[in-house]
Structure 1
């Protein structure tokens, strides 16, 4: 049986060692041979009627389409790439270098392109080996040149070693100076702390002693009012000293990690009522606390005592650092995730130069040195809030007042 032309063509088409891919004017694959299918890892049915881009790596597809369209217009046989590296994309996503020649075809009035594709991975590997060999040869030349200049380099090395030794000595001196500076700062901090404790304890203790001595002189029934006055003074001073001791104990627990938080659900209004009730007894003549609005439905799952501590500390500071006939404003807002507390006053404010140190332990602003205080309250509040996932910040202007803001999650993480 004599084979016809079509059979001969099919045999030749499949026997070609190069990969053959035929696409129509729409860049759709209409025919492939076995070499192309092996090369790209597809079967003939998988490639039939697919976009040519399926065989092009993603990063080259946009430019490749334009190149093919230009070729369709010129209809001249040529090699692809013109100095550029070409790559194909296999079915498994891997890329490999190729060479490709394009040939225009016209069949029954329709235009086609036949691409002959060669996998040049081995050639590229050999080129890489040759490049590595040349690199090694160049390296040997450099090594030989280096050997010739070793004598000069040895002298340079001695100088460099001397410079390095000098540098090390300077670094050691700087480290010593830094250590001495830190030790000096620590000693200053200890001195400041002892001075602060001495002052903060001495003043109330003197008041307690004086009131206790005067109590003994008021023995008549009609002098009960004077006795009550001195009893209240003693009570207030003892309460103040107790608060200082509690602050020092809180610092010790925070530093050693011994503190544990007691989480529970509570109404925010309960905390506010407690803080405002206690703060009312500290108000100066004409001072007013502006109670927050619309908080009856607000609640939290947090450490109630810590929230009360934070709010109390900020409200008491607002009262302490404000003059008579001023307003202390409390504003509270809550969304689905967090609650924001804002405490604003019209007090002495914080000098701009001191604001960066406000949360440092034992720090007192320059304009607050004559006001009673230890400088540890805000430091403790900040540590507790951060442990519970919260934050604290402020805005302030000297002689105009301050606004402290602390934000805390509505639900603490157990």
Structure 2
């Protein structure tokens, strides 16, 4: 049996059936009445609307065999338990909606099951909010675990309320606990300055960036860079200060050594469904597909168009503007009913809610969410039409009864049967109303005339008090004006917002959020409203928690000293923070539509795509690499980047969080070190070559001198004068060779030290070259010949005769030395107006092509010289001597065909 919650306000006999039927049909909850064996006897409109079925597809069907159940989730066991007398509750999918069902057994008398009442609530919104909260917390946890920022939340006095785990991970400091004054760990010389800055932040409500020294428990000091931001309470007062710090000790040391500045950067995005508009200066700048479908225009046709174009008239536009905007041009959060016009001219009603894009900057415009409520308005009109139709039918029936008085007896019997059925129907609908999972109340005048059990539970007061006390006293004072105005206008027949929330004050002091929808009806022939109430406290608390979580996350994300970004699985940026944009030379808004590959250096893209693929295939849980990014101006920046995926509740990657540290200066230092090592290696190789060359080149003449000296020492008296002269000549030749070698070493030493002496004086090249040719003819073998050719009329040129002797002496010596098979050596002089050209050509072994590029390097010798002696110094000396004259030297050669050196000297010099 059920408690009689209507005892203080009995139903008027003429209105009972109509009221109960209206309450059942227009309840926002899914409602069904089942027979004791589980067959559907009645179903309301909300059930048909949500499931997409019609009356015939549901009524008369077994509840557990309805089309919306999947093969594996029909509630057979739950219904069986209910038939056994147990009230059951379970969740199930109905036409893509998550619904919480409550099935209650109804007993006419103990032990006799009369019916089953099944009610349901769409809990998709609550599930979505819970999912969003879990996702936000997961992102927050990932960021807290993967960044080294020191995050603290302080109260107005500077006491710690929250510390990130990075305090222990980065600083290794175990002393930091909530409730501790944050100033205690600051270096004494910085403490009062930071305390004063903190006080200014609290008083002004504006954040500040500061650097200070932090004292660790072991007495060591770390440099910290921090950014403080404030969190306001509902009254606009500063309640919390968020301080995000970073250990910049290494950076400070690097700045002193290399004068580097390391900049760091990152973001997230919102996903909105339904009809959403972004309006600035009363013009439409962005809309989603829901709005396009709603009004019948394409996105391209509507961008930049005035919102007035979508209103039926200018008066409607002005009225809507007054309703949905405040004096500063910000959108109001309260829902409003606004009429718009479709492309085909049809006018339709919408429920509009809005929010400013940035509450502090009204000029950035507003975001609006809209719901088409045409069906709701039509339903209200249908109720009025049915009332009129019912009245007409009753009048017709009365006339028929008067005309058919002779059938009165039969009619009375029929009426008794009808009244019995009506009482049974009333009882059935009364059970539905009493056990509905939604509060039902009839308001007339200042008080409630009817309230079901659920309504009594929601208000939290005795039924007698509810009936005798004006209902406005149960409502929170801040919500009373809205409730009273909507109630007055609804009774007057005006169009009023039909779904909104308000707070009730229960007798136990608890505050609960209720959502109301209402229709105007007649109660005892007087105007009244039928109200449907649902408890949405958990949803509102979840929304508040979600808002707080988003505020905390965005405070960390946007003020992090690390470059951070959020991208979709294809690498397209969803959001970046200021540090990310600033390091790459962009504005934050410029990253819209860009991908991570757009800023990646072309040479790095294959590797980046490969790493991205490994993340998406879940081969790795995160990735980190050093790579090059391209700034907006095209310059290259080296970064150390880490990427971590974010998974949804199905385990699918829905986004990726990335962060990087700029390492351009470190890379530049590494390159300088590498070049220095290569230079050192080259010097070591030169030293080894020099030692090897000198030991080899000095050994032969020394051996000659030693052997000749021994011959003279032991056999001088036995040798003829000619033999002794020959031995002395060989000693002289060996000494001359050593002297020449030492001279080359000394010259190359002066060249390397930049101390080679250059003393130009007027010189007759014809005479100089001719004398040099005669000098070297004495060194020719029997198969070699030296030809000198010179044009007449060569003027004197400014030159250093000693250096010219090094140049052409080395070239002639090499031509003779590397022509072992003989042949002609051509030595020629040609003069032009501004240049003198001297060539030395031989028919010797030639120079391989691969050696020609390094021909003038110190100690380098061609690979085909074999056993021919040489130091590898001569051509290096030649090149430096030519450079001192401001001239050039070139070579053409082929292996086995000979070599030609061409020296060009300027005829005049500019001192």
Under a length normalisation based on structure 1, what TM-score does the superposition of the two structures give? 0.59
C-alpha displacement of 1:308: 2.4
Q: Give the 3 Å change call, closer, same or farther, for CA 326–348 of structure 1 in structure 2.
A: same
Structure 1 residues 210 and 171 mapped into 2: Cα distance closer, same or farther (>3 Å)?
same
Q: Is 1:375 aligned to 2:872, yes or no? A: yes
Moved more, 306-315 or 221-230: 221-230
- Tell me the CA shift for residue 242 of structure 1: 1.0
Deviation of the 1:377 alpha carbon: 1.0
Change (3 A) 1:340 1:249: same
Secondary structure at the counterpart of residue 357 of structure 1: coil
The yes-or-no answer on 1:299 pairing with 2:796 is: yes
CA shift digits 1:78-130 (9 cap, x unpaired)? xxxxxxxxxxxxxxxxxxxxxxxxxxxxxxxxxxxxxxxxxxxxxxxxxxxxx
Distance 2:682 2:760 in 1: 38
1:356, distance to aligned residue in structure 2 (A): 0.4
Cα separation, 2, equivalents of 1:149 and 1:369: 75
Give, in angstroms, the shift of residue 385 of structure 1. 1.2
Task: Tell me the equivalent position of 1:277.
Answer: 774
- The yes-or-no answer on 1:223 pairing with 2:727 is no
What is the DSSP-based 3-state SS (H/G/I as helix, E as strand, rest coil) of the residue aligned with 2:727?
A: helix
**2:397 counterpart of 1:397:** no
Change in CA separation of 1:169 and 1:230 when aligned onto 2, cut-off 3 Å: same
Change (3 A) 1:349 1:151: same
Q: Which among 806, 812, 829 is matched to residue 309 of structure 1?
A: 806
Q: 1:164 to 1:287 in 2, by over 3 A?
A: farther
Residue number in structure 1 paired with 2:180:
none
| CA contact 1:284–1:324 (8 Å) conserved in 2 | no
1:360 and 2:866 aligned: no
Q: Cα deviations across residues 261-314 of structure 1 (Å, max 9, x unaligned)?
A: 222223223222332222122212210001114347543232122222211111
**In the aligned structure 1, how far is the partner of 2:790 from the partner of 2:738?**
34
Give the CA deviation at 1:399: 1.2
Which of 293-302 and 160-169 deviates more?
A: 160-169
SS of match in other structure, 2:809 = helix
How far apart in 1 are the matches of 2:676 and 2:798?
45
Residue of 196, 203, 208 corresponding to 2:693: 196
- The 8 Å contact of residues 272 and 308 in structure 1, kept in 2 or not, is answered as no
Match of 2:818 in 1: 321
Deviations 1:344-403 (A, max 9, x none): 101111111111000001111111252211111111111111111111110011111100
Alignment pair present for 1:245 and 2:739: no
Distance 2:799 2:678 in 1: 41
Q: After superposing the two structures, state which structure 1 stretch, 301-310 or 378-387, moved more.
A: 301-310
Over 3 Å counting, the alpha-carbon distance change for 1:214 and 1:307 in structure 2 is same
Is the CA contact 1:357–1:363 (under 8 Å) kept in the aligned structure 2? yes
Name the structure 1 match of 2:904.
407
Distance 2:555 2:784 in 1: 84
- C-alpha deviation, 1:235, in angstroms: 1.1
Verify: 1:185 aligned to 2:185, yes or no: no
Deviation, 1:169, is 6.4
Separation of aligned partners in 2, 1:182 and 1:307:
31
- 1:211 is matched with 708
Q: Matches of 1:398 and 1:141 in 2, distance apart?
A: 78
Change (3 A) 1:216 1:337: same
More RCO (CA 8 Å, sep 6+): 1
Deviations 1:294-346 (A, max 9, x none): 34754323212222221111111000000233110011100121110011101
CA-CA distance at 1:161 after TM superposition? 5.7
Q: CA RMSD in A?
A: 3.1
Task: Choose which of 332, 351, 354 in structure 1 pairs with 2:848.
Answer: 351
How far 1:150 sits from its partner (Å)?
Answer: 7.7
Q: Describe how 1:106-117 pairs up with structure 2 within 5 A.
A: none
Residue 67 of structure 2 corresponds to none
TM-superposition CA deviations, 1:218-260 (whole Å, max 9, x none): 5358712222222111111111111111122222322333333
Tell me, yes or no, if the aligned pair for 1:392 and 1:407 is still in contact at 8 Å. yes
Q: CA deviation at 1:149?
A: 7.5
For residues 183 and 309 of structure 1, do their structure 2 counterparts lie closer, same or farther at Cα, with a shift above 3 Å needed?
Answer: closer
Aligned to 2:387: none
Deviations 1:163-214 (A, max 9, x none): 4467776666665555444433322221111111111111111111111212
Aligned pairs for 1:63-142 (under 5 A) are none
Report 1:9-48 matches (<5 A): none
Seen in structure 2, the aligned counterparts of structure 1 residues 141 and 319 have a Cα distance that, compared at 3 Å, is: farther
- Which residue matches 2:756? 259
| TM-score, normalising length: structure 2 | 0.28
Name the structure 2 match of 1:233. Answer: 730
Which structure has more helix as a fraction of its residues?
1
Alpha-carbon contact 1:337-1:411 (below 8 Å) kept? yes
Gaps of 5+ in 1: 1-137
- Note the residue ranges of structure 2 that are not aligned, 5 or more in a row: 1-360, 366-550, 566-578, 581-623, 625-638, 642-659
| Equivalent of residue 339 in structure 1, options 816, 828, 836 | 836
Measure the CA separation in 2 of the matches of 1:242 and 1:352: 32
Higher strand share: 2
When residues 170 and 300 of structure 1 are mapped into structure 2, their CA distance, relative to the original with a 3 A threshold, is: closer
Structure 1 residues 293 and 172, CA, compared in 2 at 3 Å: closer, same or farther? closer
The change in CA–CA distance for 1:175 and 1:310 in structure 2 (over 3 A counts) is closer
Q: Distance in 2 between matches of 1:385 and 1:167?
A: 41
